[in-house]
Each structure stands twice: as C-alpha cells, then as structure tokens.
C-alpha cells in the first residue's frame, strides 16, 4: 500500500509500472490480471503469457463494488493487478477490491503505458556488425539497429521511439546514417521522417513504396531492387519482395535478411491491406517473392521480420528471428504450390489493424497527426500477418 503525498489524505491503492509487470511475466511469475476494459477492447488486444491468468470485467459494471460472480473468479491468495485503458478506472476498481480484502495493485497508465514498453536485444548473428532488435510487446512490432564502423542504420523505426535509436547508436559509437522503411506500414506510424528532420539521418523508402503517393515534408531517397547502401564496413542490399504491398522490400546485411512484413518466423504476410479487391493477385505475387527471392537464399540466412505474434517462439538469443532453412522445414505455407498457397492465404484473413487507413495516410504524408494522436492511432495488435492457424508443423 502506498501513501499519498499529503500525510493528511487517505491511503491510495498500490500501483505497478508496465516495466514491473513485464518483468514479472518474463520471470514466469504467476500473474493474475483483472482487465476492466470493455469486452470488445479486451478481445482485440490484451496482455497474455504462459503464467498469466486474465479475467475481463468492464469497469462500468464495478462502479458500486465487486459483484458476487466476479468474486468467484478472483484468487484469495494471489496479488491481483487491475488494468484499464489509461489507468484511471483501474485505480477505482482496485480500491473496491482492496476494501474487500484482496491483495491488489493497478497498472499505471493502463494499456497506453503498456504500449510504451520497448526492449533492446542484440542478435547472435554471424556478422562483423552489431545488429539489435527492438521489441514492442504490446503490438508485436519489431525494428532493427545495424552498426558498422561508426555508422548506423535503423530499419522500420517507430515514430514514438525515434530518440531511442539515436541514443543507442551513440552508445555504440556510431552516428545514425540511414532510417529505412521496408514498405508503407499499416499498423504503426513510421519514424523515418522524424529522424531525418531531427538529425543528419537520410530517410530511405523503396521506390515502389514511394510510388503510392508519398508527400513528405522532408527530403528522402528511394532505392530499387539490386541496389546497395554503404554503411561503415558493410553494405545494405536491397531485395524487392512485393506481395504484402507493391513496395514491400527486404534489406540484407551479411547473413541477416530484414524481411519487413513479407515473412515472419511463424507466418507469412497478408496480401489485402493495400488493395482488398486485389488480394488474390497480391498473394500470387507474394508466392513468387518468397519462392524466387527469399527461399533461394542460403539456409543459414537469418530471417529478421518486422513483427511477432503470440505464436512466435524466441530464438536462443531472445530475438524473434529464425534461420531460413528452419522456417522452410516447419512452415507449411512455404512448401505449398502456388494455387494452394493463394487459396490458403486469402481464406482466413484476420481483422485489419485498427485505424489502418489513417496510419497508411500518415505514413504517406497525407495526414499530419501530432505525437499523442499518432501514438493513439497505433494502439492495439498489428494484424499484418496471415492467420497463424496450421501454418507451421
């Protein structure tokens, strides 16, 4: 129990930070969460884990206290962490629970605070460069920092965390030289323009992605298939892999392939976000990209995607990466013929990412939301992959 700032005021219920809750989950502690958001918000996006038990009970049904049916679902011998969207309602619910004798705390800033967690993990890749993966547990977004001989590049940066890439590059003795997007994202606001405007970083887009109507207020460069960018003592190779979008492009550094949303460690891309009416044609293009451009690479190529889902298993270095040969051996979609692949991919498409049309418009430069509005646009799951069901053996 924490005390209020004024000793004359009554005690307030204990709180926990998103980082503290994440650490408990990572340690495998038994965690019990009472999610006080609406049923719809809960079904779309929630905190999960092997050691996490979650009960959803909307806060507006708890205004006058804890009903009997909820008592039956709550543990008597375990701490309960209450959460809501922003942290206000959860504190009220936690106070009710504490009055009833439960051990309880509430999540500071709620799911909005959870979305601020951003973790850094270096790859054990066979390169003479440093490659780090940034993991956003709330949405499964992944970005990468590549450092070689005093120069750094960030792949698929998020606007909300632009400052972190610059700081981490400096900590590794490098200046941020390039900020690259693999495509026009539909699930998060890109950070390449913010990095270009605030530093000497060059923003880079695939030529085909820029062709969708980019209207940036900063200078940027475009790259095409087969081109390279020099970065310190290494090179960034450009590999056009359309299918998820017409501009979808992978970047290869040594034996690491940054696949964007083209190929994940547990699934492949969905083909309907750019043009829902052309999903089957896009799926055929995706099949061609995977079979001819990606699977033709050596088996020890490290696939480093732009997203991970609850179905993903981290590698030994705790990154969401996998060797290409391993993916080909265990992912059903990579062994299908074209017609089977197309029918399978379009048969069970997940819901589209929340606010995806506004996010795309922002990433094209056609809308200019402020930082807070941009952050709220991307709250929730990414949903940029095809369904994981039956994709892997």
Each residue's pLDDT tens digit, 136-183: 999 999 999 999 999 999 999 999 999 999 999 999 999 999 999 999
pLDDT at residue 126, as a whole number: 61
Matching CATH number, 15-114, of 2.60.40.1180, 3.40.250.10, 3.40.366.10, 1.20.58.110: 3.40.250.10
- Tokens 């206000």 belong to which residue? 88
Beta carbons of 89 and 107 less than 8 angstroms apart: no
Sheet (strand 52-56) strand order: 15-16, 104-107, 80-83, 31-35, 52-56
CA 364 distance to own-chain centroid: 19
- Closest among 45, 57, 47 to 20, alpha carbons compared: 47
66, 80, 84, 129: the catalytic one is: 84
Matching CATH number, 119-377, of 3.40.50.300, 3.60.15.10, 3.40.50.720, 3.40.50.1000: 3.60.15.10
User: Any catalytic annotation for residue 84?
Assistant: yes
pLDDT at residue 256, as a whole number: 97
DSSP symbols for 42-63: HHHS----TTEEEEE--GGGST
Domains 15-114 and 119-377 are alike in CATH topology: no
pLDDT at residue 390, as a whole number: 41
Instruction: Compute the distance between CA of residue 163 and CA of residue 194 in angstroms, rounded to an integer.
Output: 9
- Closest among 266, 231, 274 to 252, alpha carbons compared: 231
Tell me if the pTM is above 0.95. Answer: no
pLDDT at residue 348, as a whole number: 76
- Closest among 95, 100, 87 to 17, alpha carbons compared: 87
Spans of all domains in the chain = 15-114, 119-377
pLDDT at residue 29, as a whole number: 96
- Closest among 377, 362, 357 to 215, alpha carbons compared: 362
Q: Which residues of the chain have pLDDT under 70?
A: 1-11, 126, 387-393
pLDDT at residue 388, as a whole number: 53
pLDDT at residue 24, as a whole number: 96
């Amino acid at each position: 129990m924490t005390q209020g700032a004024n000793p004359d005021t009554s005690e307030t219920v204990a709180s926990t930070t998103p980082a503290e809750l994440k650490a408990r989950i990572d340690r495998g502690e038994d965690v019990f969460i009472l999610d006080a958001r609406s049923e719809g918000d809960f079904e779309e996006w929630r905190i999960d884990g092997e050691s996490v038990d979650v009960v959803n009970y909307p806060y507006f049904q708890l205004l006058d206290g804890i009903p009997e049916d909820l008592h039956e679902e709550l543990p008597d011998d375990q701490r309960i962490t209450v959460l809501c969207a922003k942290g206000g309602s959860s504190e009220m619910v936690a106070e009710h629970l504490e009055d009833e004798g439960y051990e309880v705390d509430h999540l500071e800033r709620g799911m909005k605070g959870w979305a601020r967690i951003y973790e850094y993990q270096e790859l054990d890749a066979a390169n003479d460069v440093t490659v780090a993966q940034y993991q956003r547990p709330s949405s499964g977004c992944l970005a990468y920092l590549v450092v070689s001989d005093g120069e750094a590049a960030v792949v698929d940066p998020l606007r909300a965390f632009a400052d972190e890439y610059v700081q981490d590059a400096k900590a590794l003795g490098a200046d941020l030289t390039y900020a690259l997007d693999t495509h026009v994202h539909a699930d998060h606001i890109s950070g390449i323009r913010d990095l270009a405007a605030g530093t000497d970083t060059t923003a880079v887009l695939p030529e085909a992605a820029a062709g969708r109507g980019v209207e940036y207020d900063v200078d940027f460069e475009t790259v095409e298939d087969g081109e390279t960018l020099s970065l310190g003592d290494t090179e960034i190779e450009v590999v056009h892999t359309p299918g998820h979008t017409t501009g979808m492009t992978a970047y290869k550094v040594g034996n690491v392939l940054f696949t964007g949303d083209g190929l994940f460690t547990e699934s492949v891309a969905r083909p309907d976000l750019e043009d829902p009416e052309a999903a089957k044609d896009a799926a055929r293009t995706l099949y061609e990209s995977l079979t001819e451009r990606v699977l033709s690479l050596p088996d020890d190529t490290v696939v480093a995607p732009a997203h991970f889902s609850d179905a993903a298993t981290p590698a030994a270095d705790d990154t969401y990466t996998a060797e290409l040969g391993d993916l080909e051996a265990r992912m059903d979609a990579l062994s299908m013929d074209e017609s089977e692949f197309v029918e399978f991919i379009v048969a069970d498409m997940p819901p589209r990412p929340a606010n995806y049309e506004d996010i795309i418009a922002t990433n094209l430069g056609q809308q200019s939301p402020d930082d807070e509005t941009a952050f709220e646009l991307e709250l929730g799951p990414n949903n940029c992959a095809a369904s994981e069901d039956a994709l892997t053996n």
